[in-house]
């Protein structure tokens, strides 16, 4: 029986799922029944990059026996092993003979290897020349043993006819399978051109009263504007991009449908006039895109704010953020206000002894003393704390002193001219930081760390998405965009300023925000209060 070539499969699937021809060709070439397949294949990329859909379509086009396991549906590692066994028996037509294979139960990976080998053996019934086992979202498996992923990846080495495909939603660590030479196929995020091509290929949504000629003329420009203003800055996905276009397109062309008179004496509505007419809609939708990062507004319904809600003054308390964005923003603030040379002392797991704690307190007292001279004079005048002759007076860090240090730093940073910083160079002076340093500090100050951080998923992809949203809110900005801070601090480092970030928030605001997730910024910036 002849099998389709990878080029033919890529050409046919590209019409339905465009901009994935390279991945389809690689996947079809590695899993083709006419050539030997690798024992393990890893597909990785962030969510909504069409990994699972492309894999399912390629296997169906190749007509290869396969079983696709959605690991998110398995609540334990034992449940996953049992589901793999039952789905494999169903794929090879042995679901009625499940009692022969452990009675449908599997307690360990070694037992799974024996049962799968028996099920795929030629003597079991139907001859299977190649079988593909797809584990979708295996990196998100709940209650998985430490070596489960490595053991599942080696099933193809034990069973010659089996190929295991691992689909990951995060970037894998080097040698995360404890083996080298594993084939990887990456599904990168869609670029601006690819995302616009995918949306425009589906055609504009149908609107009553709008001619197809007008829709085909306005829709490509509308899609480009939606991406530049709403999807790109918020790291949106293709499903959210499509949903926004379908929801806003009828409202965007409403003046054309209602036969309203264009401004300026023009005969027809062009895209520029429609864009000016609907600029309030884009502004409102841009705020609604960040609702999942900010608390929902009370008194709103479907993004429409009532007039009484607009007339009320805003509360002074800061808006709430979910746990992960709050911890990322807190880590960014600590990284921006702590010198990098002190990272080993303050954030290393090996500096938790009492001596290191005293060293941290002593260092911060000397640095904060310059910001609280008035408070120090009051302490020296206080008879309850007499000073001994010949010894330096010890500065006691209090809550008011720390608050004044936060206020002094915020005022000095905001009032600093371009290219210079005012005030003394203290630990509370904002400095640019790199993404690698942000991730390290994130792990150090996380109040709920994972049980096994070494085996946990990589956070770089998730933090990049949150940084895009925080940048949209102007809470975190690139260091190259901060004139004073970026120019002065970048001169003391060798890294490129374009790869660094800097916070754009005040200390009192982030202090209240961090307390909501159980993080005391004062403990990391001042070594704790006395």
Residues 204 and 266 in one domain: yes
Element spanning 166, H or E: strand 162-168
CATH number at residue 431: 1.10.10
Percent pLDDT > 90 in the chain is 30
Specify the pLDDT at position 492: 36
Judge whether 55 and 180 are in contact, CB under 8 Å: no
Number of structural domains in the chain: 3
Judge whether 41 and 66 are in contact, CB under 8 Å: no
Q: Residue 487: pLDDT above 50?
A: no
264 within some domain: yes
Query: Average pLDDT of the chain?
Result: 76
Element spanning 135, H or E: strand 131-136
Residues 260 and 344 in one domain: no
Rounded CA gap, 22 and 170, in Å? Answer: 20
Among 108-112, 200-204, 469-473, name the one with the lowest average pLDDT.
469-473
β-bridge partners, 301: 304
Specify the pLDDT at position 114: 92
52 within some domain: yes
Residues 167 and 279 in one domain: no
> What is the DSSP secondary-structure string of 38-75?
-SEEEEE--SSSSHHHHHHHHHHHHT--EEEEEGGG-S
pLDDT digits (tens, 9 = 90+) for 285-307: 877 765 544 444 444 444 443 43
Percent pLDDT > 70 in the chain is 71
Cβ atoms within 10 Å of 522's Cβ, excluding its own: 21
Q: What is the chain's Cα-based Rg? A: 30
Element spanning 252, H or E: helix 238-252
50 within some domain: yes
Where would I find the H helices in 446-506? 460-472, 483-490
Q: Residue 475: pLDDT above 70?
A: yes
Q: Give the confidence band of 481 by pLDDT, cuts at 50, 70, 90.
A: low
404 within some domain: no
Q: Is 179 left (phi over 0), alpha (psi -120 to 50) or beta?
A: beta
Residues 34 and 123 in one domain: yes
Residues 263-267: contacts with CB within 8 Å, 24+ apart?
none
Specify the pLDDT at position 323: 85
Specify the pLDDT at position 128: 84
Rounded CA gap, 460 and 464, in Å? Answer: 6
Residues 326 and 222 in one domain: no
Among 81-85, 221-225, 242-246, 356-360, name the one with the lowest average pLDDT.
356-360
Specify the pLDDT at position 84: 94
The closest of 44, 81, 88, 85 to 66, measured between CA atoms, is 88
pLDDT digits (tens, 9 = 90+) for 116-142: 999 998 766 667 889 999 999 998 888
Q: Residue 112: pLDDT above 90?
A: yes
Residues 163 and 199 in one domain: no
Q: Give the confidence band of 400 by pLDDT, cuts at 50, 70, 90.
A: low
pLDDT digits (tens, 9 = 90+) for 418-434: 333 333 334 456 789 88
Q: Which domain holds residue 117?
A: 6-186
Q: Is 144 helix (H, G, I), strand (E, B) or coil?
A: coil
The closest of 226, 248, 236 to 290, measured between CA atoms, is 236
pLDDT digits (tens, 9 = 90+) for 210-224: 999 999 999 999 999
Residues 236 and 328 in one domain: no
Residues 39 and 96 in one domain: yes
């Amino acid at each position: 029986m002849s099998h389709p070539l990878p080029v033919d499969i890529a050409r046919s699937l590209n019409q339905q799922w465009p901009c994935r021809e390279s991945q389809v060709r690689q996947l079809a070439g590695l899993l083709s029944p006419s050539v030997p397949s690798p024992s393990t294949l890893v597909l990785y990329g962030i969510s909504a990059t069409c990994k699972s859909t492309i894999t399912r379509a390629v296997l169906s086009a190749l007509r290869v026996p396969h079983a696709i396991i959605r690991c998110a549906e398995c609540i334990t590692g034992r449940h996953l092993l049992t589901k793999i066994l039952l789905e494999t028996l169903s794929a090879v037509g042995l679901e009625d003979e499940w009692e022969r294979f452990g009675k449908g139960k599997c307690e360990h990976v070694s037992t799974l290897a024996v049962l799968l080998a028996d099920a795929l053996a030629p003597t079991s019934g139907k001859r299977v020349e190649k079988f593909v086992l797809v584990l979708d979202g295996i990196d998100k498996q709940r209650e998985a043993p430490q070596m489960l992923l490595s053991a599942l990846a080696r099933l193809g080495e034990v069973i010659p006819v089996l190929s295991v495909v691992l689909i990951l939603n995060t970037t894998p660590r080097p040698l995360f399978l404890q083996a080298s030479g594993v084939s990887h196929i990456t599904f990168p995020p869609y670029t601006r051109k690819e995302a616009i091509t995918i949306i425009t290929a589906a055609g504009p949504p149908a609107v009553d009263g709008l001619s197809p000629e007008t829709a085909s003329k306005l829709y490509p420009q509308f899609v480009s504007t939606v991406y530049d203003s709403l999807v790109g800055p918020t790291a949106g996905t293709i499903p959210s991009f499509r949903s926004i276009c379908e929801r806003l397109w009828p409202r965007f062309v409403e003046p054309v449908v209602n036969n309203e008179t264009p401004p300026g004496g023009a005969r027809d509505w062009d895209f520029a006039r429609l864009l000016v007419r609907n600029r309030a809609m884009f502004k409102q939708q841009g705020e609604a895109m960040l609702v999942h990062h900010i608390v929902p507004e009370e008194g709103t319904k479907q993004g429409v704010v009532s007039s009484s809600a607009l007339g009320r003054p805003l509360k002074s308390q800061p808006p709430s953020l979910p746990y992960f964005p709050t911890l990322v923003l807190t880590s960014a603030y600590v990284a921006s206000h702590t010198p990098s040379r002190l990272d080993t002392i303050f954030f290393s797991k090996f500096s938790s002894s009492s001596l290191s704690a005293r060293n941290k307190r002593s260092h911060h007292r000397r640095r904060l003393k310059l910001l609280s001279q008035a408070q120090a004079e009051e302490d020296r005048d206080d008879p309850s704390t007499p000073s001994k002759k010949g010894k330096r007076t010890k500065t006691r860090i209090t809550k008011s002193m720390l608050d004044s240090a936060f206020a002094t730093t915020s005022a000095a940073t905001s009032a600093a001219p371009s290219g210079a910083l005012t005030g003394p160079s203290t630990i509370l002076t904002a400095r640019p930081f790199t993404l690698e340093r942000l991730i390290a500090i994130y792990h150090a100050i996380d109040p709920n760390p994972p049980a096994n951080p070494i085996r946990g998923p990589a956070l770089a992809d998730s933090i990049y998405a949150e940084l895009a949203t925080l940048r949209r809110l102007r809470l975190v900005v690139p260091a190259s965009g901060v004139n004073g801070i970026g120019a002065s601090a970048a001169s003391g480092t060798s890294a490129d300023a374009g790869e660094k970030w800097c916070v754009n928030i005040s200390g009192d605001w982030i202090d209240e925000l961090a307390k909501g997730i159980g993080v005391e910024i004062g403990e990391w910036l001042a070594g704790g209060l006395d």
